[in-house]
Structure 1
Amino acid sequence: MDGVDCPRHPASTLLVGREADLELVRSFLDDSVVRGAALLLTGEAGVGKSALLDAVADSAEGRGVRVLRAAGVQFEADISYAGLNQLLLPLFGSFQDLDPLHRDALSVAVGIGEGPPPDRLLTSTAVLLLLRAAARSRLLLVVDDLPWLDRATTAVLGFVARRLVGSNVGLLTASRSGADSFFESGGLTEYRLRPLDEQSSAALLSQVHPGVSPAVRRRIVAEARGNPLALVELPEALTDRQRVSLTAVPAVLPLTQRLRAVFASRVAALPAAARELLLLAALEATGDLATVEAAATGRATLADLGPAERDRLVSLSPDARSLSFRHPLIGAAVVHHASLAECRRAHRALAEVLRDKPERRAWHLGEAAAGPDEDVAALLEEAARHRSRRGDALGAVTALTRAAGLSPAAADKSRRLAEAAYIGADAGGELEDASRLLAGARLADAAGRESLHAAAASAFLLINKDGDIETAHRLLVGAIEEGDHGWEAGNDALIEALHTLLLLCWYGGEPRLWHPLLRALDRLRPEPPELLWVCARTFGDPARTGPAALPRLERLLASVGTDPTRVVRAGTASVYPDRLPDTRAASWRLVEQGRSGSAPVRRHLGALMHLALDHFHLGRWDEAARLAAEGVALCETHDYGFYAWYFQYVQAIVSAVRGDTASSTALTQRIIRWSAPRGAHGARFFACHARALAALGGGDFETAYRYGAELSAPGTLAPYVPHALWGALDLVEAAVRTGRDAEAAAHVAAMRASAMGALSPRLRLLVRAAEALVTPGRPGADLFALALAEDRPERWPFDHARVRLLQGERLRRLRATSEARAELSAALEVFEGLGATPWAARAAAELRAGGQNGAAAAKPGRVALTAQEREVATLAARGLTNKQIAERLLLSHRTVGTHLYQIYPKLGITSRAALRDALDANDTT
């Protein structure tokens, strides 16, 4: 039968994605068994018609419906009434209920009576009478594979189908689309069962073959094109290694015996010339008929495709310029039917006519080669470089792997496998594959020196498993400094190794890790590539070296192009100068390509990272959270455990600014637990920033100060910790709130002395706001106003609203009431729009303290104080000093001051003297 009713797989698995189809057929037949009707189910071979019929039949029987079944069988197609015998077998005992004329005719037809062949009309009428009699309760006929039913049976079924109205009998039949059949379906309802969508295809394949690697799974999903039988069967034809390694999978997937029975038998019946053209088309893969015809010169012409067209194996475009297989597995069946010699001859013919297409020509030459061939290996290596630049990481890995297989010299084989391993680890998303390729490279030339690509691949594999940054860094630095590369800036392997080293340095978060990279950059001749140079200066220590790189960054962003690697690296250079909006369109394009499977996984992840940060700064926090969740899921799917922390950081800061401190804390704890044993101090600094931000919003300034100081010690912007720029204002505010005025002033001085303000308008806003915080009185308020004068506040709404809040607090304390209200109201409006709940509460409390009533100030109602805040407020209301309260509660006097600073605006008061009344009023609200 056509379907996927394979005994080794449960029916529930094989019906993945068919819920809507099953419900539609059930609902139709629920009506049909009342009023009598027939439904013809059609679809391509293997699309799952049999599985759907089984499910409907089981469901009907479960509801008390009697089900009679039959299925066409090829070797019985010439036996008259063989199908009717199969269908009516359970009713043979009921023949006695018919009148003698119809009983005898039907008995002879199904082979249990003797006599001359009965009249067709008489037999058909007898069947209809028998079914109506048997359907005193409900009856459902299920007939599969109509094309293989004998002609006599199909005639009877057609007669019966058009006479079921008013009976309790329903008829459900299935037929392959386009197949010839004697069944007359005119006037019957037809339902076409379509292929599964991509999501359902992936789910089915994952359930039936969970051990298949993600890359191989995507390849099978693409080849199966929604056909459940192909999804179930194709992995069965692969070896264990092929199931987990995309590079080991042949260009044309092999077929199982079951798939060959469905697809290959039709190919075998074609004339030799037609098979020749189909073989060329299957191997050429683009469908270009001009190429196919040229390669077949002297052996076949396009006119020879007629039989394949008539048998619906292929379709030609209206202008006869392109050919497509009705199903991709037909192409696989064509290749399977050809001998190895025929396939090689076809590849050579295609290579000959593709001289102006070097990549495709190299591939065909590689497939035609019968043994080692350095010339072809070199062509494939060059083709791999072109593919890599276009973002086709897996195509590049495949070409390099094939080139390695054709390499006569062990050193060349090792070098090519190592490069394939590096591309696979850096971009392809298949770490297990990369690990096997790297092992193969070392085996191929065990006595040789490890290449730069091998070292870079090893570094990636180390950090994504249980290795640490220090070991990966040492391994890569050793390969770079000991390599025989002449420090040529045009050496691709060296430049890729330096880009990898740059990331390792950043992950490590320690200045000493950067020294070897900076030395290497100075030694490059004639000069470092611009993208590498800019990344090193804007991503390493931007507070000191960033502004000098901005003109070059501007040029890079103007010509970022579509190369996935270049897009992501330009985004990396743009993070701290706040230029991610300039890469937004290219990053979105890369994400969409990644979602469709046409972009390298690592580049997909890089684009997601940058877009998530960009959307956070834009105030689009829901989108930032969605992008981060997508990144986490992608890391889990592809075993890129090392990069998950970056997305968890985005989730943590979104939770922090929204006031979900518990979620933010849980996420940062996860980051710290993961990063500590691996020496990924850069990740720990990100966690510190999120924790400080969460504490600030909640008014826990002591905790905010502790984490801010861990990110960057007061009085200095930590060198080679670029995230110190983003936490600088947090540290200054926490220091001011906890009475650490000297530390706050020292940090502001460090911010002013650095190049931080020259990097971007947002960072200049933060520098001026920090300076205003440590400048008392009206001069400080004027500095806040200067900070807020920066244009386009909509680019960083949260940062602008924070500064407005600080300005409003200052103005209120200066008794500039109307000015304070304007700033606080503006801040409150933005915070509420963003969903920044704790910050909105701070702004509303300040407005209440300033005497504003109405919606803008928010009705106070009962204010929730923490247990410790309640104790501090109660003791202060009794007249105890901060020092006395601190001694009693075993706190520092600074912590007591911080609590009171938060309690006053919460209760809507401005002095200690008002505490008692405010507490009493709050208790009775």
Structure 2
Amino acid sequence: MESRHGMPAGPVRGELIRLTGSNPLALNEIAARLTPAQLAGREPLPDPLPGGTRLFGDRVTGLSASARLVALLAAVETDLEVVMSAAERLVAGSGEVALAELEGSGLAEVSGSGLRFRHPLVRSAIHEAATPAEIRHAHAVLAELTGGDRRAWHLAGAALGHAEPVAVALEEAAERARDRGGYGAAAAALIRAAELTPEPRARAVRLKDAATAAWLAGRPGQAESLLAEAAEGVGGEITLAMEIAQLRGRFELNSGNAAEAVRILAAGDSLGILADAVEAASYVGDTAAVVEFGRRAAAHPEGFLRDTVAGIGLTLDGDVAGPALLRRALARTDGLEDAAGYLWAAAAASALGELDVATEMAERAGRVARVSGMAGQLPVVLEFVATAERLAGRLARSRAVSEEGLALAREAGYENTVAAHLANLAVLAALRGEEEPCERHSREALAIALPHRVGLYAGVAAYAPAVLDLCLGRYASAHDRFRALAVAGPGAGHPTVTWRSMPDRVEAAVGAGDEAGARAAVSAYARSTEHAATPESRALLARCRGLAESDEEALGEALRLHTNPFEAARTALLLGERQRRAQRPGQARAHLRRAWEIFEQAGARPWARRAQEELRAAGENAGAPPPSVLDALTSQELRIAGLVAEGLSSKEIAAQLFLSPRTVEYHLYKIYPKLGIGSRTDLARLVVLRKAPVAADDML
């Protein structure tokens, strides 16, 4: 598919494959006729696609005038009844004969209520054989016979020069497309509306809205080009200029320099811009900026977003009003409807130190994003879903989500999101004891995150080799890495990564013999989670204290409090080790056995080996525990199983994973015998049960 201008960008390549049915000849013909901007995704693909004359031009021009007219009408209108009504108006009494001639030529055939062309480039050849005046006239006649969105598009096809009433009709069509999740269609309608708009400011607004729709449709190159064009028409309009600046900041945050995004957004005072500024500063890891923007947000009227944004800033500043605002925001989560809202709820819970609640909110965001139609948001939301799955100990699921998110982010050109998924894959490799993939993914993530000043992803990427050392018992090296992580500044490290990794740092310090360092880390962790109220947050703090103070009672208390089975297994391993070494093997075996089973099922091989060795030392030589049945699935099958559990149909799953519904069904029929089940209901139940937490009593 490569042209003289190079290979098409990922999203463009996927769209061309879809439109041509993967026909190699058609792909080569089309790619050779696209501009560099179209190939790069900075401009939309032409409709119809070019290149049909070479393949079908002679056959089209060989048709009679009336047959060519019917072909042209069918090339711009899908409803055959409307096509034939228009044909009767234009060639009275000859419509049926012309249709028969067109079918007889082999170029098209009647299919249901429409006319199906034999090949995608037949439609292109028909357009190329018609004059611009003929095409406009066809659209004008069809506009008289249609209504709603179709009429708006036909009016646009018939228009010459500026036409504000037609632009308004297209704008309304775009609004309807957005309401049903059709952001790509909305972008196309707004682009054409802008072309028809005579007034510069109105044109700039429509271009700005088109940029937003293109971004949400997963077309960042096109979105940035549209936004640059919109900025040229702003003039002295301050409000519009700030809206465009906000979008520039968001685009920069996803694909460029996060510190530059902070600089762009810092000039705004609306709550929406301040929220984006807090998000950008949080990605950088710039606590001072988060505090400043949060305090500015506190001046706005209360509401979920204001309470969250202000609460995060005030909490970081040590203001007692901050945690109360965050609690009030979390109390309003039942009214949330979009993925962004749930991600803000996750941020609120994280600021309180409640990692378990943050994980739950991220998972909800993922479920909403799957069905929203916002293809551009999905790889970003999947960052948080993948992290949530990992923190819950569902390592296979986390890897499947990150692999999906990584592919989508690379296709869309979201470089910073690419770094996020690479960093998560690095940590997963560490937990599985896979040194080379851990080092490679970490290095690749840092190569993006550091120059882009995304401290959050740089921090996670640096965390991966530290946790690998911890898993493999290299405590001194792990201790050094965790200490370096804690002092890394904005753009290279992140406070959230520091506090999330504090239980690991305590374990590494104890293993390295640094008792003072362990106690200092526990004190820091206690301060960062002082407002947390969930059992899991208390369990992690109790485990840290039990380790630092050699307090077996504290470890037992942690085990009773845990709601996260993976973290419970880690605590059980630590407690079992102490009991075994204290010559109480009978007490140790139950903890070690359960930890072994969970680590084996999760695929956390280093910890599983450690638990197995301890169990043998405690006098038990049982065979390996059975693996999770879901481990039999490939990454693609696991993704499909997870989406089935979320209630998506095969058609919806196909749209999310860029597959055909038939391919999804094929995968399902491979999944069922692997798992010994026979229906989607059984599959959903199995996935849900696999995600259910282990009761504390099972660990005691």
Alpha-carbon distance in structure 2 between the residues aligned to 1:520 and 1:445: 26
- Please report how far the alpha carbon of residue 634 of structure 1 lies from its aligned counterpart in structure 2 after TM superposition: 4.0
Whether 2:24 is the aligned partner of 1:228: answer: yes
Aligned residue type for 2:359:
D
> Hey, what does 2:500 align to over in structure 1?
726
Matching residue of 1:624: 398
Contact 2:57–2:129 (CA under 8 A) maintained in structure 1: no
Q: TM-score, normalised by structure 1?
A: 0.58
Shift of the alpha carbon at 1:329? 2.6
Cα displacement (A) at 1:729: 1.5
Which whole-Å CA distance do the structure 1 matches of 2:211 and 2:340 have between them? 16
Deviations 1:741-799 (A, max 9, x none): 455445545555665785766444423322433454452243134234x4xxxxx4432
- Residue type of the alignment partner of 1:220: L
- 2:142 maps to 1:350: yes
Q: 1:586: how far off?
A: 4.7
Partner of residue 128 from structure 2, selected from 336, 342, 365: 336
Report the alpha carbon displacement of residue 314 of structure 1 after superposing the two structures with TM. 3.2
Q: Residues 430-509 of structure 1: matches in 2 within 5 Å?
A: 430-445=219-234, 449=238, 451-460=241-250, 462=252, 468-478=257-267, 480-481=268-269, 487=270, 495=272, 497=273, 500-509=276-285
1:824 to 592, 597, 600: 592
Write out aligned runs for 1:96-245 (5 A).
Answer: 205-206=1-2, 210-245=6-41
Distance in 2, matches of 1:642 and 1:814, equals 49
Distance 2:463 2:9 in 1: 37
Structure number with larger C-alpha Rg: 1
Give yes or no for contact 2:60–2:68 (8 Å, CA) kept in 1: no
Which residues of structure 1 form unaligned runs of 5+? 1-204, 482-486, 490-494, 591-598, 791-795, 859-925
Helix, strand or coil at the partner of 1:360: helix
Instruction: Report if aligned partners of 1:772, 1:780 keep a CA contact under 8 Å in 2.
Output: yes
Q: 1:683 aligns with which of 446, 449, 457?
A: 457
Q: Which residue of 2 aligns with 1:57?
A: none
| Letter of the 1:471 counterpart | E
Change (3 A) 1:586 1:713: same
Alpha-carbon displacement from aligned partner over 1:19-58 (angstroms, at most 9, x marks no partner): xxxxxxxxxxxxxxxxxxxxxxxxxxxxxxxxxxxxxxxx
The residue that corresponds to 1:552 in the other structure is: 332
Distance in 2, matches of 1:554 and 1:566, equals 11
**CA distance in structure 1 between the partners assigned to 2:548 and 2:45 by the alignment:** 65
The change in CA–CA distance for 1:702 and 1:744 in structure 2 (over 3 A counts) is: same
- Alignment of 1:251 with 2:31, yes or no, is no
TM-score, normalising length from structure 2? 0.74
CA distance in 2, matches of 1:781, 1:219: 55
Change in Cα spacing, 1:768 to 1:669, as seen in structure 2 (3 Å) is: same
C-alpha deviation, 1:283, in angstroms:
1.3
Is 1:835 aligned to 2:603, yes or no? Answer: yes
The letter for the 1-side match of 2:383 is M
**Quick check: 1:657 aligned with 2:431?**
yes
- Backbone CA RMSD of aligned residues: 3.9
Query: How many angstroms does 1:602 deviate by?
Result: 2.9
Q: Distance between the aligned counterparts of 2:16 and 2:458, measured in 1? A: 40
Change (3 A) 1:533 1:236: farther
Q: Say if 1:611 and 1:627, in contact at 8 Å, map to a contact too.
A: yes
Correspondent of 2:380 among 606, 610, 615: 606
Shift of 1:808: 0.8
CA offset at residue 804 of structure 1? 1.0
**Contact conserved, 2:186 with 2:210, CA < 8 A, in 1?**
yes
**Number of residue equivalences:** 604
Alignment CA distance shift 1:390-1:537 (3 Å): farther
Change (3 A) 1:801 1:569: same
Using the TM superposition, give the Cα deviation of residue 657 of structure 1 relative to its aligned residue in structure 2, in angstroms: 1.0
The equivalent residue for 1:38 is none
Task: Give the unaligned 5+ runs of structure 2.
Answer: 317-321, 626-700
How far off is 1:821 after superposition?
Answer: 1.3
Aligned-partner residue type, residue 315 of structure 1: E
Of 687, 693, 700, which aligns to 2:467? 693
Q: In structure 2, what is the Cα distance between the partners aligned to 1:837 and 1:780?
A: 26
Shift of 1:422: 4.4
Alpha-carbon distance in structure 2 between the residues aligned to 1:432 and 1:326: 32
Alignment of 1:226-625 (within 5 A): 226-245=22-41, 247-261=43-57, 263-265=59-61, 268-270=62-64, 272=66, 274-284=67-77, 287-293=78-84, 295=86, 298-299=89-90, 303-304=96-97, 305-317=99-111, 321-355=113-147, 357=148, 359-424=149-214, 426-445=215-234, 449=238, 451-460=241-250, 462=252, 468-478=257-267, 480-481=268-269, 487=270, 495=272, 497=273, 500-515=276-291, 517-519=293-295, 521-524=297-300, 528=303, 530=304, 544=323, 546-556=326-336, 559=337, 576=355, 577-579=358-360, 580-583=362-365, 585-586=367-368, 601-617=375-391, 619-625=393-399
Pick from 604, 621, 625 the counterpart of residue 854 of structure 1: 621
User: Following the alignment from structure 1 to structure 2, what is the Cα–Cα distance between the partners of residues 517 and 382?
Assistant: 35
Q: Distance in 2 between matches of 1:630 and 1:721?
A: 27
Q: CA 1:429/1:378 → structure 2, altered by over 3 Å: closer, same or farther?
A: same
Q: Is the 8 A contact 2:11 2:411 kept in 1?
A: no
Deviations 1:58-106 (A, max 9, x none): xxxxxxxxxxxxxxxxxxxxxxxxxxxxxxxxxxxxxxxxxxxxxxxxx
Report Cα offsets for 1:876-917 as digits up to 9, x if no partner: xxxxxxxxxxxxxxxxxxxxxxxxxxxxxxxxxxxxxxxxxx
Matching of residue 702 in structure 1 with residue 476 in structure 2 = yes
Q: Percent identity?
A: 29
1:490-547 CA-to-partner distances (Å, cap 9, x unmatched) read xxxxx4x45643431221112122245435544555x55x468658868997995654
Task: From the superposition, tell whether residues 419 and 473 of structure 1 become closer, same or farther in structure 2 (CA, over 3 Å).
Answer: farther
In 2, Cα distance between the equivalents of 1:585 and 1:829?
Answer: 29
> 1:212 and 1:670, CA in 2 relative to 1: closer, same or farther beyond 3 A?
closer
Distance 2:47 2:340 in 1: 26
Partner AA of 1:505 in structure 2: A
Instruction: Say if 1:254 and 1:574 are closer, same or farther in 2 by CA, change over 3 A.
Output: farther
Question: What is the CA-CA distance between 1:813 and the residue it aligns to?
Answer: 4.3
CA–CA separation in structure 2 for the residues paired with 1:841 and 1:399: 58
Higher-RCO chain (CA-CA 8 Å, sequence separation at least 6): 2
Structure 1 residues 349 and 379, CA gap change in structure 2 (3 angstroms): same
Post-superposition Cα deviations, 1:830-852, rounded to whole Å, max 9, x if no partner, equal 223333232123223433544x2
